[in-house]
Amino acid sequence: MKMVRDENGYRFEPARLTIKSGDGVRWIMVSGGPHNVFFQNVAGAARAQLAANMPNPISDLSSPMLLNPNEKYEVSFAKVPSGKYEYICTPHLATNMKGSVTVQ
């Protein structure tokens, strides 16, 4: 997943991704940082497992800020229940920078 800012605005590319249970997702800061990944509306056991799978969070379900081109952040979806996991880039919420990962 790329984190991008260009003439079309701020966005994740692709904005939606479908994976199998156990897969990992890697976000790469391309341009327009700082960017992060902050999962929203996750409850119960899914929240606990997703939080446990996120390395170096800066707060609950929030990745560190990626400041420089080619910085990466990776989350394993091992043991995360099937479902749709929506996330935003906190610094660029006002520009509607959001995405989702659907775990099958």
What CATH number does residue 86 fall under?
2.60.40.420
How far is the CA of 61 from the CAs of 9, 34, 40, in angstroms?
25, 17, 8
Of 102, 100, 88, whose CA–CA distance to 10 is shortest? 88
What confidence score (pLDDT) does residue 68 get? Answer: 97
In order along its 104 residues, the chain shows pLDDT tens digits of: 999 999 999 999 999 999 999 999 999 999 999 999 999 999 999 999 999 999 999 999 999 999 999 999 999 999 999 999 999 999 999 999 999 999 99
Q: Which residues contact 49 (CB under 8 A, 6 or more apart)?
A: 79, 80, 81
User: Cα(first)–Cα(last) distance of the chain, in Å?
Assistant: 18
- Number of domains the chain contains: 1
d(CA 46, CA 82): 9
What confidence score (pLDDT) does residue 43 get? Answer: 95
d(CA 69, CA 49): 29
User: Which range of residues forms the domain containing residue 58?
Assistant: 2-103
What confidence score (pLDDT) does residue 44 get? Answer: 95
What confidence score (pLDDT) does residue 45 get? Answer: 95
